[in-house]
Amino acid sequence: MRIRLDSIGAAGLALIGATLISARPATAQAAKLDDPTIVAIFDAANTWDIETGNIAVKKGTTKDVRDFGAMLARDHAAVRGQGRDLAKKLGVTPTSPKNFGMAKDHYAAVKKLNGLKGKAFDRAFLEHEVAYHKAVIDAVNTTLMPALKNQEVKDLVTKVAPAFKAHEDAAQDKLNKLSK
């Protein structure tokens, strides 16, 4: 199945990566992933975190949570744009993995977040962001980077990896403060 880059989202990389990691050994995964698929996963990951960030902008009960959501949406939109520009430059047609079931998990998370209010929303959002960014980092390190062939795509993923860790750390810090 072919996908358009603008039809998938941010949490996808993390969610897909987590699925791939748990489904098969890393070497089997790497052999089955190609660069267009990884570009599609990368785009999905960014789009989905833009979506959850925008939910936090609207529903966060504190300025800190709303600002964090806005930062996530802004940062992931910039990275998604870089990925789309690179895909266009390379002339690749991103294709989703055969098992793109993680979209279902993203939409379930969005539904849950949209159904929560107040501090329950803040906590669920921050917990989601910690888990999401951890899954992205794990997927990149164990599944996606080993499968990448194109150096420009590798360079882009390597360049943005510290931002994913910074987002995870910031979400964890905010969650810790919320728990006090």
For the chain, domains (ranges, CATH) are: 5-173 (1.20.1260.10)
Do the beta carbons of residue 130 and residue 168 sit within 8 Å? yes
More confident residue, 99 or 46: 46
Do the beta carbons of residue 43 and residue 153 sit within 8 Å? no
pLDDT at 22: 37
pLDDT at 3 over 70: no
pLDDT at 9 over 70: no
Place of tokens 């998604």: 80
Q: In this predicted model, what pLDDT tens digit does every residue of 125-139 receive, in sequence order?
A: 999 999 999 988 998
pLDDT at 17 over 60: no
Give the chain's mean pLDDT: 82
Q: What is the pTM of this model?
A: 0.80
Locate 137 and state its tokens.
Answer: 């980092």
Q: For residue 140, what are the CA distances in angstroms to 21, 31, 119, 124?
A: 10, 15, 31, 24
